Chain A
């Protein structure tokens, strides 16, 4: 007990160890142990052990019946207008849970990467980046203030950018990296504005101090709008960007250009869940009253995203893109859980945890499939169940968890979200059931096309991946199965640990459980009927409803719409502004050309008539200067000065009009 309390004082080491690994790999390069891979794994493994001890400390207190007291330590950082800002860490049950999830998945992914990235020409750099990512993600988790949270948030975005573009020889990877960075930045602007707003009203960036000021902020208004919801929605904009929620979800499917372990760690289990964690961490700002406007927005965006992404996933053919849309959809589920209020908070975060395990499992499994077959198109696979048994069985278990089959981890968490929705908002509940049905359907399609049936492409000779890749899959599969049991409906340990306020869990409902299970089985049944038994032709949808099929296949045309209404006009404006200046530059370049020609002529003369060169030179220089001056006078410099005076006159005009 005493020992464990002591250990929690070392929480700050958890992000520092991977950061140290990052520095070490940079220094040693290829000469480091395992070309840097062992350093990375050692760093994250130590963080994992520390995280285990932290959660043991949390649990030991919880089991002794005490309400766990969050502990925080901080050191002075800076002062802003007399207000001290401190930087430090903050550990409560939510932090401990996240620490464990992040370190577990990060450790397994890094072990897996030893095999997956084998032979890559930038092998040490990969492990350096992924260590830096782990460090940033862990410091985000333990941040005790919103400013440090934001800094880590940007740092994970940066490492995500570097890792999506890791195989930059593919132009698509380069484009995807840029897109991811810029689209998430749009959300981050909201986050930053929300941060400034909260800082302004609460005079602090420290989480607990901010929460203490919420009652005082209730009456404040900004632009005639209540300040608290405005701040909450701005923060939520950041979460929408990071967690790829509608309408900023467009970057995540493209991010699949990165190496598959990166997709598993960053774009499935941890970084994209940071948006959900942000809402969870800042929950008092969102849930200042039950069913606040902020929460309604969160729930609405969540259910729209869940449904939209699930429908798109049903027609994709790239195994990683299917999983990417599935991730977007599941993140929507988590947001929905947080948004419905009450114990939805617990349910959403519980789903974050179970999802991290089974989705990391699915992505690593897909990586194993890609490794073994050399393709990402599920139409070319088939019959992999026999050739890749470890991959198959672990993938199957994770699929069951994602579909929410009873007694897998996904069942408990998804059921809890739906249960809360059932009591809070019937519309959301029924739409959620539809999304759950679609989830089961597209995963069955994936299983049927990739693993079951007969191989479709005879060229592909699939083989099982090495042990260093399959062992992490087994661990994740076990976690996908059992992690849900800490949320057993009648004795919910998870709820005991992570809950908001004094909300009592809604009692288990057979109606909801049966409906959820029923929809999952219905999805599987339909998928089985279409893709295995071929009772219904798989192409019937495409033939009978071509417009709907195209709409889904083209992902509701989000990219095209953004391109037309945002990107093109922006570039028009910049091209216009640049043309304005460029015209001037062109004039200058022409002038320079003329001057150069003239100068060469001058030097020619100089060489020719060295005797009376001096006389001629004076004439030439005069001429040159004349040209130069005439050029600058008739040229564009005039315009500059003209613009100066136009500017002055315009300012005077505006002044007089006032």
Chain B
């Protein structure tokens, strides 16, 4: 397929917009972030860029050529509904992040232009990662995403915790990427190509008894180290709590949603298109890792006192639930839409939670859960919204997280597979554990005496963002059908069908 700029319009907009924001940042004299979004500021330009990219992605999603799937750059990237769907998630997340950052950096001396430019480039990397269909492209965009993220994590230069977080993230990421590249080299060695469709056709061409199954498994496992690092899958999750805690909160939000979503996109694409039945059976491995991830995440989240650290473990646990859907990919046609639907819901509930955390930490200068005491009194609207997000993350009705979990568990059951059924039971038991730490936040907000009665006043923009996320979380329960349809429509890949 020849090159057509329309198909990569979101990426083009992001590239151009990122450079413009960088330039605009140079001309921003005032260092101190004002705490609100002014016209002609880097924030406004970043929002414009991201919204433009989001609009062009939405325009792509229902195009008939895209539904069939288009390749660009010599089969390096795919423009198919799945890639576009993940781009939408990533872009929506970045739009949230801009609002969060504008609030978070108020009164702090930071290079705003560069921050938003890097955020846009990280978004660009994540959208390439969601579409990559070539091992080289996967590696490049994953590293692109990682390196921009390392810088963003260490953005608060004066804060040693932020520096530490960045260094830890970097070192861990470097090793994980090295292992992943080693895995990729195994497939290049086997197939003499880096195109995943070509690798697949080579792998299936082996006679059943002559297939180098062990080597294939080893290569897959090594690649999963790199991917698992991105989605914070146990046992490759240990960087996450430290990094999430130290990073500026908007960046933590970006890592927990956009970075994770892009990671899931590549996991889904590689597992579905390369490792089809007959090549290697990865289901038991994913089942085990899913169970491990959700259990470790939930159990360790229990004693946390820092809300960002708690949300870090929570996001590990959420990755575990999503992996339940990944594990069911082969056996249930419901699994892929279920994973995508859950990610979409997760986008709103998790970004909403981080928006409240940003609001509180920008005003109280602390991430201690005890600081949420009496939030119901100090900022009633934020407390209601936060309660909705916590319920949703715990999968308790009446919030959309319940629909997402219902779908995931239904997919596991639909497979009719016994191990998946056990895994679903483990997941449901895990949700009970998670109730404890999610409701702990609600308990502090509603049932604890505030240290001071001064109201916290979120800015208008923050109120809108939190309100929007909360409304979306409720609406997706009351009327989930359009979102289900979107997930279903998007569960189509260029190569291979689940």
Contacts of B168 in A (CB 8 A): 588, 632, 637, 640
Q: Which of A102-110, A150-158, A243-251, A611-619 contacts B (4 or more CB under 8 A)?
A: A150-158
Q: Which of A145-180 contact B (CB under 8 A)?
A: 147, 150-152, 154-155, 158, 161-162, 165, 168-169, 173-174, 177-178
- Using an 8 Å CB-CB cutoff, how does the interface string of B430-460 with A read, 1 for contact, 0 for none? 0111011001000100111100000000000
Asked if A511 lies at the interface with its beta carbon under 8 angstroms from chain B, I say: no
- A76 to B481: give the CA distance in the assembly, Å: 9
Asked if B217 lies at the interface with its beta carbon under 8 angstroms from chain A, I say: yes
Contacts of A434 in B (CB 8 A): none
Asked if B331 lies at the interface with its beta carbon under 8 angstroms from chain A, I say: no
- Cβ contact within 8 Å between B443 and A655: no
- A117 to B337: give the CA distance in the assembly, Å: 49
Known contacts A637-B168, A652-B218, A652-B221; is A78 also within 8 Å of B398 by CB? no
- Cβ contact within 8 Å between B334 and A80: yes
Residue in A80, A161, A628 with the greatest tally of chain B CB atoms within 10 Å: A80
- Cβ contact within 8 Å between A151 and B409: no
- A192 to B431: give the CA distance in the assembly, Å: 11
- Cβ contact within 8 Å between A578 and B179: no
- Cβ contact within 8 Å between A644 and B225: yes
Q: Which of A287-295, A322-330, A568-576 contacts B (4 or more CB under 8 A)?
A: A568-576
Asked if B413 lies at the interface with its beta carbon under 8 angstroms from chain A, I say: yes
- Cβ contact within 8 Å between A199 and B164: no
Nearest Cβ distance between residue A440 and chain B, in whole angstroms?
39
- Cβ contact within 8 Å between B164 and A591: yes
Asked if B110 lies at the interface with its beta carbon under 8 angstroms from chain A, I say: no
- Using an 8 Å CB-CB cutoff, how does the interface string of B194-236 with A read, 1 for contact, 0 for none? 0000000000000000000010011001100100000000111
- A195 to B168: give the CA distance in the assembly, Å: 44
- A588 to B217: give the CA distance in the assembly, Å: 36
Contacts of A76 in B (CB 8 A): 481
Contacts of B447 in A (CB 8 A): 165, 168, 173-174, 177
Known contacts A80-B407, A577-B300; is A165 also within 8 Å of B436 by CB? no
Q: Which of B217, B411, B481 contacts A77 (CB 8 A)?
A: B481
Contacts of B236 in A (CB 8 A): 644, 647
Asked if B428 lies at the interface with its beta carbon under 8 angstroms from chain A, I say: yes
Known contacts A78-B481, A646-B235, A647-B235; is A585 also within 8 Å of B242 by CB? yes
- A596 to B161: give the CA distance in the assembly, Å: 10
- Cβ contact within 8 Å between B428 and A643: no
- Cβ contact within 8 Å between A648 and B242: no
- Cβ contact within 8 Å between A571 and B302: yes
Asked if B288 lies at the interface with its beta carbon under 8 angstroms from chain A, I say: yes
Asked if A478 lies at the interface with its beta carbon under 8 angstroms from chain B, I say: no
- Cβ contact within 8 Å between B449 and A169: yes
Q: Which of A181-189, A333-341, A403-411, A420-428 contacts B (4 or more CB under 8 A)?
A: A181-189
Known contacts A181-B435, A596-B160; is A196 also within 8 Å of B410 by CB? yes
Contacts of B484 in A (CB 8 A): 78-80
- Cβ contact within 8 Å between A644 and B176: yes
Nearest Cβ distance between residue B436 and chain A, in whole angstroms?
6
Contacts of A178 in B (CB 8 A): 439, 443
- A632 to B176: give the CA distance in the assembly, Å: 16
Residue in A76, A189, A644 with the greatest tally of chain B CB atoms within 10 Å: A644
- Using an 8 Å CB-CB cutoff, how does the interface string of B397-419 with A read, 1 for contact, 0 for none? 11000110011011101100010
- Cβ contact within 8 Å between A158 and B391: yes
- Using an 8 Å CB-CB cutoff, how does the interface string of A331-372 with B read, 1 for contact, 0 for none? 000000000000000000000000000000000000000000
Contacts of B403 in A (CB 8 A): 78
Asked if A595 lies at the interface with its beta carbon under 8 angstroms from chain B, I say: yes
Asked if B239 lies at the interface with its beta carbon under 8 angstroms from chain A, I say: yes
- Cβ contact within 8 Å between A189 and B429: yes
- A76 to B175: give the CA distance in the assembly, Å: 50
Q: Which of B235, B411, B428 contacts A189 (CB 8 A)?
A: B428
- Using an 8 Å CB-CB cutoff, how does the interface string of A63-81 with B read, 1 for contact, 0 for none? 0000000000000111111
- Cβ contact within 8 Å between B172 and A640: yes
Nearest Cβ distance between residue B234 and chain A, in whole angstroms?
8
Known contacts A80-B407, A199-B410; is A643 also within 8 Å of B171 by CB? no
Contacts of B439 in A (CB 8 A): 161, 178, 181-182
- A570 to B481: give the CA distance in the assembly, Å: 39
- Cβ contact within 8 Å between B397 and A154: yes
Contacts of B175 in A (CB 8 A): 641, 644
Nearest Cβ distance between residue A22 and chain B, in whole angstroms?
12
Nearest Cβ distance between residue A274 and chain B, in whole angstroms?
14
- A455 to B139: give the CA distance in the assembly, Å: 83
- Cβ contact within 8 Å between B432 and A168: no
Asked if B74 lies at the interface with its beta carbon under 8 angstroms from chain A, I say: no
Contacts of A599 in B (CB 8 A): 160
- Using an 8 Å CB-CB cutoff, how does the interface string of A610-633 with B read, 1 for contact, 0 for none? 000000000000000000100010
Asked if B95 lies at the interface with its beta carbon under 8 angstroms from chain A, I say: no
Asked if A3 lies at the interface with its beta carbon under 8 angstroms from chain B, I say: no
- Using an 8 Å CB-CB cutoff, how does the interface string of B28-56 with A read, 1 for contact, 0 for none? 00000000000000000000000000000
Q: Which of A442-456 contact B (CB under 8 A)?
A: none
Q: Which of B172-193 contact A (CB under 8 A)?
A: 172, 175-176, 179
- A177 to B448: give the CA distance in the assembly, Å: 12
Q: Which of B323-379 contact A (CB under 8 A)?
A: 332-334
Known contacts A178-B443, A592-B161; is A643 also within 8 Å of B235 by CB? yes
Contacts of A584 in B (CB 8 A): 238, 242
Asked if A31 lies at the interface with its beta carbon under 8 angstroms from chain B, I say: no
- Using an 8 Å CB-CB cutoff, how does the interface string of A557-598 with B read, 1 for contact, 0 for none? 000000000000011011101100100110010011001100
Asked if B285 lies at the interface with its beta carbon under 8 angstroms from chain A, I say: yes
Asked if B303 lies at the interface with its beta carbon under 8 angstroms from chain A, I say: yes
Contacts of B435 in A (CB 8 A): 181-182, 185
- Cβ contact within 8 Å between B238 and A81: no
Contacts of A570 in B (CB 8 A): 302, 433
Asked if A510 lies at the interface with its beta carbon under 8 angstroms from chain B, I say: no
Contacts of B429 in A (CB 8 A): 189
Known contacts A147-B406, A196-B409, A577-B299; is A637 also within 8 Å of B480 by CB? no
- A173 to B446: give the CA distance in the assembly, Å: 12
Nearest Cβ distance between residue A580 and chain B, in whole angstroms?
8
Q: Which of B163, B300, B391, B477 contacts A574 (CB 8 A)?
A: B300
- Using an 8 Å CB-CB cutoff, how does the interface string of B477-490 with A read, 1 for contact, 0 for none? 10111001000000
Contacts of A656 in B (CB 8 A): 214
Residue of B nearest to A650 (CB): B235
Q: Which of B217, B288, B300, B432 contacts A182 (CB 8 A)?
A: B432
Nearest Cβ distance between residue B141 and chain A, in whole angstroms?
22
- Cβ contact within 8 Å between B428 and A588: no
Residue of B nearest to A573 (CB): B299
Residue of B nearest to A205 (CB): B406
- Cβ contact within 8 Å between B285 and A177: no
Asked if A474 lies at the interface with its beta carbon under 8 angstroms from chain B, I say: no
Residue of A nearest to B246 (CB): A588
- A147 to B405: give the CA distance in the assembly, Å: 13
Asked if B396 lies at the interface with its beta carbon under 8 angstroms from chain A, I say: yes
Asked if A544 lies at the interface with its beta carbon under 8 angstroms from chain B, I say: no
- Cβ contact within 8 Å between B480 and A77: yes
Asked if A658 lies at the interface with its beta carbon under 8 angstroms from chain B, I say: yes
Known contacts A199-B410, A640-B238, A644-B236; is A581 also within 8 Å of B300 by CB? yes
Nearest Cβ distance between residue A503 and chain B, in whole angstroms?
34
Contacts of B289 in A (CB 8 A): 651
- A592 to B239: give the CA distance in the assembly, Å: 17
- Cβ contact within 8 Å between B288 and A654: yes
**Top 5 A-B pairs ranked by shortest CB distance?**
A647-B235, A168-B447, A151-B397, A574-B302, A81-B334
Inter-chain pairs besides A81-B414, A200-B413, A574-B300, 18 sampled, C-beta below 8 Å: A77-B479, A78-B479, A80-B484, A151-B397, A151-B398, A154-B402, A189-B429, A189-B432, A192-B428, A193-B428, A578-B300, A584-B242, A591-B164, A595-B163, A599-B160, A637-B171, A644-B238, A655-B221
Task: Give 14 CB contacts A-B under 8 Å.
Answer: A77-B481, A78-B403, A78-B481, A81-B334, A165-B446, A168-B448, A173-B447, A196-B424, A578-B303, A581-B300, A585-B241, A643-B238, A650-B235, A651-B285
